[in-house]
Amino acid sequence: MKIFISDDLPGIEEAVREIFPSSKWQLCVLHTVRDTLAKVRKKDREALAQNLKAVYRADTIEQAHQALRALEEKWAGKYPKLVAKWVEKSYALLALLEFLDHPEAIRAYLYTTNQLERLIKELKRRTKVVEVFCGPEALEKLVYLVLVQENERLLRRRRLRGFAEMQLESCHASGHTS
């Protein structure tokens, strides 16, 4: 596992770092943005959202840090705790900017958990209609079929550019070149 993406639930970051020490942890940027904007005055939301977007839409870590400094200068006086959280998670933990270490083509998939949440919601919907499974194998088969169907839907809907190159790069790095 190269990277874990999650919400900021207590214990997740520590568990990832303990169980998968060579893996990175990425905080879901979109949920962090929503959480931040929910705690500010309505009149400030649009302007703050633009400043936050400049941080997580930056092309490089340096540009993200520059945008973060601008965010801090503009908003730290008005919303010190919220800005401090962004600064801490971005600088000290790199939890909000970890996705910038990956190819640009796949970054949009790495800074949010939305696709995973959509998949879990679909699995719940599909398993709920079955009143009784005749055994664990039946549940496993249904989950497998839903995963295959969702994968095909995603592939039809989008071109997942960048993943093939990343997989090839990963194979070369680990010495597997088949």
Shared-domain flag, residues 30 and 100: yes
Q: Give the length of the chain.
A: 178
- 131 φ, ψ (degrees, to nearest 5): -70, -45
**Among 108, 141, 163, which residue terminates a domain?**
108
Shared-domain flag, residues 100 and 28: yes
Looking at residue 152, its pLDDT comes to 85
Considering all CA atoms of the chain, what is the largest pairwise distance in Å, rounded to the nearest integer? 61
Looking at residue 168, its pLDDT comes to 56
Shared-domain flag, residues 117 and 91: no
Shared-domain flag, residues 63 and 102: yes
Shared-domain flag, residues 127 and 93: no
CA distance 100 to 102: 5
Shared-domain flag, residues 70 and 11: yes
Shared-domain flag, residues 140 and 97: no
Q: How far is CA 83 from CA 9, 57, 90, 93, in A?
A: 19, 17, 10, 15
Shared-domain flag, residues 103 and 119: no
Looking at residue 176, its pLDDT comes to 54
Shared-domain flag, residues 64 and 11: yes
* Helical residues (DSSP H) of the chain, grouped into ranges: 12-19, 29-38, 42-56, 61-75, 80-87, 107-110, 114-128, 136-157, 163-174
What is the extent of the structural domain holding 32?
Answer: 3-108
Looking at residue 32, its pLDDT comes to 92
How many structural domains are present in the chain? 2
**Among 108, 141, 157, which residue terminates a domain?**
108
pTM given for the model: 0.71
Looking at residue 95, its pLDDT comes to 84
Shared-domain flag, residues 56 and 100: yes
Residues of the chain with pLDDT under 50: none
Residues 23 and 4 sit within 8 Å (Cβ to Cβ):
yes
CA distance 71 to 23: 29
Write the pLDDT tens digit of every residue in 77-113: 999 999 999 999 887 667 888 888 888 878 877 888 8
Shared-domain flag, residues 30 and 103: yes
Shared-domain flag, residues 120 and 97: no
CA distance 169 to 178: 12
Residues 111 and 5 sit within 8 Å (Cβ to Cβ):
yes
Looking at residue 21, its pLDDT comes to 94
